[in-house]
Amino acid sequence: MQNYDMIEGNRGDHKVYFVDKTQLETKLKYLKQLTEDYETVKSNHYAFERVAQMLIESSVDIGNMIIDAFILRDPGNYKDVIDILGLEGAISKETQHALHETIDVRRQFVHYYDTLDIAQLIPLFDQTVPFYEQFIEEVLQFLENENVPVTAFGKGAQ
């Protein structure tokens, strides 16, 4: 059975909805693990591809969960998810910009995986992995501010 909890925050301008906190915690932990594993796996071409693509996918999944929970406007694409989080104050402009840079190369992982220039992509992800770590912290802070305790990393109450 899923752990749905009602979000009752300070947002009088948005309706209340439900979020699967267990799933959100799992996705946040997964993203955290990706950031921790990045340095050790980036020298392996295939491991780098997987970790880099999943950094993008998991952060957008987390963003979609937050957007759905607060019934914010529907995103049209991956960048729109990140933009909505920025507009709502869930993430900083710096994090928003950094994640945009990696989302720009997502298509290469999905459609042009056979011709990826890993030597070009590694420096981009070297610069943006700290922003994925920051994304996690900013999302947790946003949820805490909205009275949605998440215990993914020992924060919040159950």
* Structural domains of the chain sorted by starting position, each given as residue range(s) with its CATH number in brackets: 21-145 (1.20.120.580)
pTM: 0.85
Residues shown for the chain: 158
Q: What is the pLDDT of residues 54-112, one digit of tens each?
A: 999 999 999 999 998 886 778 999 999 999 999 999 999 999 999 999 999 999 999 99
Q: What is the pLDDT of residues 99-156, one digit of tens each?
A: 999 999 999 999 999 999 999 999 999 999 999 999 999 999 998 888 766 655 544 4
User: Would you tell me how many other CB atoms lie within 10 Å of the CB of residue 66?
Assistant: 24
Question: For residue 19, which of 8, 10, 6, 1 has the smallest C-alpha distance?
Answer: 6
CB-based contacts of 60, cutoff 8 Å, min separation 6: 78, 81, 82, 103
Question: For residue 17, which of 30, 8, 28, 26 has the smallest C-alpha distance?
Answer: 8
